[in-house]
Structure 1
Amino acid sequence: MELGRVGIWNRVVAEGRPDSAEAAAELEELGYGAVWIGGSPPVSMAENVLAATERIVVGTSILNIWQHEPADVAAQSQAANEKYNDRFVLGLGASHGPAVANYAKPLSKMREFLAGLEAAGHPREKRVLAALGPKMLELSATEAAGAVPYLTTPEHTARARDILGAGPLLVPELKVALTNDPAEGREIAREHLSIYLKLPNYVNNLRTLGFDEADLTDGGSDRFVNGTVAIGDENVVDEWVQRHLDAGADHVAIQVLNDPLPRAEWRALAGLTEGRP
C-alpha cells in the first residue's frame, strides 16, 4: 500500500455529511496518504470517504470483530475495493472488556475471525490489526499485512518493529494538540485521554512503556500526557512523526484533538506529508 509519510485518523470525516465529504476531498488535495476512520466503523463508513475521493487510501481503525461476521466483512471489503479502485484496507481490533458483552480471550477471538476471513477469500495484504502486545503483533505479521497500534509512543513503535520484522506494515496513531500554549495543550489532551485510562488493555500496555500508577490516575500526569501527545506547533508534530518513522513506522496516522473535524489544523499540518526542515 502506498500510504506516504502521514495520514489522518478521524471519524467525523466518514459520517457522510456534506462537510465531511468536503473535508475528505480536501485531505486528498492536501497530500495526506490515508484516512483512518476511528471508533468502531463498519465498512460502509469507509465507503463515504472513498466516494468523496479518488486516490487516497481509506482504512478502518478499527472495525470491532465482536460486532460483525467475518464472511459479511469479507464480502463488504471486496465490494468496496472493486468499486473504489482497490483503495480500502480493513483494520480490525478486539476492542475492550468494558465495551463488549461476553468479552473473553481477545487473541483467540481474533484468530477465529481471521480464519473466517480466510475461508471467505479475504486477502491478507488488505487487512491490518490493532496490536499492542507481542502475541497480537506476531499475529499481525503472519495473518495480516501489519499493525495499527493506538495510544503508544515511539518506544512502542521500535518494540513493535522488532516483533513484526522488516516486512509488515506498521502504522502507529499519533495524538496531536496543535497549540503553542502547553497548558492548553495538556487540557485538550486530558479531556481526550480520560476514557482510555479506564480501559485495561491500554493501561497495561502503557505500564510496559514505563508509566506507573501515578502517571495513569487522576486524568494522567504531565509526564504521561507529554509522553503520548504531540503538543505544540507544526515543527513539534513533525519531530514526533519523525521519531516514529525512525523507530520503524512506515506511516503515521495523525489524530488532531483540537476539534471533531479540525480542517484548519489539517491544513496547517499539510507540510508533514513531505517533512519539514
Structure 2
Amino acid sequence: MKNLAGVGIWSTQLRHGDPGEAAEAAAELEELGYTALWIPDVGGPVFDAVERLLSATKRATVATGILNLWMHTPEETAASYASLTAAHGDRILLGIGVSHAPLIDSAEPGRYRRPLAAMSAFLDGLDAAEQPVLPGDRVLAALGPKMLELAKERSRGAHPYLVTVDHTRQAREALGAGPLVLPEQTAILCSGRDEARAIGADWLRGYLSLPNYANNLLRLGFTEEDLETVSDRLFDALIAWGDEEAVKRRVDEHRAAGADHVCVQVLIDDPKGFPREQWRRLAPALNG
C-alpha cells in the first residue's frame, strides 16, 4: 500500500542526475525515513526513472510530480503503471499535470489549449485502458478551483507545486475531508536571507515567468510587483529558508492547514548537485 504519511523528497536530481547516484541516494532517503520520492517530467522515459527508484528502495512510494500529459498517451502510461506495479507492488503514485503553455507551445505552437478538457480526456483514457490506472492511484497537479474540483471528483487528491500555506488551506477547503492534499515545499538550509536569495531568487524567477504559477500567486493576494521583483514577501512565502527547525516549522504549518503529506525540495548552490548532506541534516527534524 502506498505510504503517503510523513514527509517526502521532491528532486530533479533523482530524475535527471547520474542514475547510479540517484539509486544510491534513493536507498539512503528511504533509510532516513522519507516516505515518498517525487520526480518531475518534461518528456522522455520518465518510467525508466521510476523503475530505477523502485528497484533501489523497498518501501518508499515513488511519485511523478508531475507526469506531463502532453508528452505521454494514456495507453502507454497505464501499461507502464501496470508493469511496474506488478514488479514492485503498490508503491507508485501517478501525479498528472497540464504543464504550461509556453513550454508546450514552444515545440508545437497552439497545442496547449483547453487544459481542463485535456486533463479530463487523459483521465478518460486511463479509465478505459486495458489495465486502468484507478482514481485512487492518481493525483492531479491542481492550483486553481476548477482543477481542484476535478481532482476531487476523479483522483485521490491534489499535488500543488510552488504554493504557500494559504494555498494548502484553500485546497483542503476545496477538496473536503476525504481527498489528499500533497503540497511541494521548497527549502534552503542557510545562514541568512542573503544566502537564501543567492541560491533561490533566480530559480524562483524562472517559475514566475510561467502563467499558471503567476496567476495562482496573484489569486493568493500577491501583486505584479511582488512577482516582477521577487519580493521578500513572496520569496519567504514560497521558500522555507534558515536552519532545520525553520523548514520543520513550515512543514508543520502545511500540516496544520490540511496537508496529508509534504514533499520537500531542497535547493543548493549547485542546481545539478544532489543535496545529500542537506537531506541528511533535515531527516531528524522532519522524520523524528
Provide TM-score, normalisation by structure 2.
0.92
Between the aligned partners of 2:101 and 2:58, the Cα distance in structure 1 is 37
Between the aligned partners of 2:40 and 2:281, the Cα distance in structure 1 is 21
Between the aligned partners of 1:198 and 1:191, the Cα distance in structure 2 is 11
Partner of residue 252, structure 1: 262
CA displacement 1:143-193 (0-9 Å, x = unmatched): 111110001001000000011110111100000011122211122111211
| 1:62-77 matched pairs, under 5 angstroms | 62-77=66-81
Matched, 1:143 2:154: yes
| 1:159-178 matched pairs, under 5 angstroms | 159-178=170-189
Partner of residue 7, structure 1: 8
CA displacement 1:176-226 (0-9 Å, x = unmatched): 0111222111221112111111101100000111110110004x1111111
Between the aligned partners of 1:19 and 1:222, the Cα distance in structure 2 is 35
Partner of residue 79, structure 1: 83
3-state DSSP of counterpart to 2:178: coil
Partner of residue 119, structure 1: 128
Alignment CA distance shift 1:54-1:47 (3 Å): same
Aligned-residue offset at 1:44: 2.1
Which of 231, 242, 246 is residue 221 of structure 1 equivalent to? 231
Matched, 1:270 2:279: no
Which of 57, 63, 66 is residue 53 of structure 1 equivalent to? 57
Matched, 1:232 2:245: no
Alignment CA distance shift 1:227-1:273 (3 Å): closer
Gaps of 5+ in 2: 106-110
Between the aligned partners of 1:53 and 1:14, the Cα distance in structure 2 is 15
CA displacement 1:217-271 (0-9 Å, x = unmatched): 04x1111111110010000000000000000000000000114310000000002
Between the aligned partners of 1:141 and 1:223, the Cα distance in structure 2 is 31
Between the aligned partners of 1:40 and 1:90, the Cα distance in structure 2 is 15
Deviation beyond 3 Å, 4+ runs, structure 1: 272-275
Q: What amino acid does structure 2 have at the position aligned with 1:227?
A: A
Partner of residue 102, structure 2: 98
Q: Which has the higher helix share?
A: 2
Q: What amino acid does structure 1 have at the position aligned with 2:121?
A: E
Between the aligned partners of 2:90 and 2:3, the Cα distance in structure 1 is 11
3-state DSSP of counterpart to 2:80: helix
3-state DSSP of counterpart to 1:61: strand
Contact 1:186 / 1:231 at 8 angstroms: preserved in 2?
A: no
Matched, 1:190 2:225: no
Q: CA RMSD in A?
A: 1.2
Provide TM-score, normalisation by structure 1.
0.96
Which of 35, 38, 45 is residue 36 of structure 1 equivalent to? 38
Q: What amino acid does structure 1 have at the position aligned with 2:174?
A: I
Contact 1:4 / 1:273 at 8 angstroms: preserved in 2?
A: no
